């Protein structure tokens, strides 16, 4: 029966299953210690099927990271259309983190420590800093202070969400968002003085 259900999945659905399994396997063992067999087992398929979709372990890891990056961009851009952008940064990160916590952790905790993916993680951080800078807007006119504030905000947000994923209660996500948003407001106020 499991074989029949595998055959019913479209190519994008199968890739999604593989990406979820890969995120789980990589989060459990790290990039170097994870084999394509581990990814296949975590995905509930054979290694041959994994290779039909991804040529290498590196390509697969990058695809997991890219999926997180794409989703962050999508959620952030959707939030920019709101009149009230308060909490947009933390809501963006937490939304994506709750959707796929293991992939989020790979992006923000593990990728920067893997030599093959360090530059990718750095690019994502730069995009995040740019997003924070956009939200700051002209409220901090000094370019150097503006950049420092954006860097500080990203560090605060990412670490807050990672820690919340580790120890937070999903039932209290709204409270978490409120508290982090208040903290961001305090950080922003300190940088505008």
pLDDT, tens only, 148-177: 999 999 999 999 999 999 999 999 999 999
Say whether pLDDT at 4 is over 70: no
Q: pTM for the complete prediction?
A: 0.87
CB crowding 11-39: b at 16 or more within 10 Å, else e: eeebbebbbbbbbbbbbeeebeebebebb
What integer best gives the mean pLDDT of the chain? Answer: 91
Question: How far is it, in rounded angstroms, from Cα 77 to Cα 134?
Answer: 11
pLDDT value, residue 168: 92
pLDDT value, residue 8: 79
Higher pLDDT, residue 15 or 2: 15
Domain boundaries, the chain: 1-55, 65-192
Say whether pLDDT at 5 is over 80: no
What the block records as the tokens of 156 is: 């605060």
pLDDT category at 2 given cuts 50, 70, 90 is: very low
Residues 1-55, CATH architecture: Orthogonal Bundle (1.10)
pLDDT value, residue 125: 93
Q: Which residues contact 112 (CB under 8 A, 6 or more apart)?
A: 118, 121, 122, 125
Which of 167, 72, 65 lies closest to 121, judged by CA?
A: 65
């Amino acid at each position: 029966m499991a074989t029949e259900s595998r055959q019913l999945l479209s190519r994008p659905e199968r890739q999604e299953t593989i990406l979820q399994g890969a995120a789980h396997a990589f989060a459990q063992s790290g990039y170097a210690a994870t084999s394509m067999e581990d990814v296949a087992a975590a995905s509930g398929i054979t290694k041959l099927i994994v290779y039909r979709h991804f040529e290498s372990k590196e390509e697969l890891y990058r695809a997991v990271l890219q999926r997180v990056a794409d989703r962050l961009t999508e959620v952030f851009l959707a939030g920019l259309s709101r009149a009230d952008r308060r909490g947009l940064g933390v809501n963006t990160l937490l939304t994506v983190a709750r959707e796929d916590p293991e992939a989020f952790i790979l992006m923000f905790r593990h990728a920067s420590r893997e030599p093959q993916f360090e530059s990718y993680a750095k690019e994502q951080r730069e995009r995040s800093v740019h997003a924070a800078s956009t939200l700051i807007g002209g409220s901090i006119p000094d370019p150097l202070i503006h950049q420092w504030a954006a860097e500080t905000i990203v560090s605060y947000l990412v670490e807050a969400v990672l820690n919340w994923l580790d120890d937070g209660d999903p039932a209290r996500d709204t409270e978490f968002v409120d508290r982090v948003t208040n903290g961001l407001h305090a950080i922003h106020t300190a940088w505008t003085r």
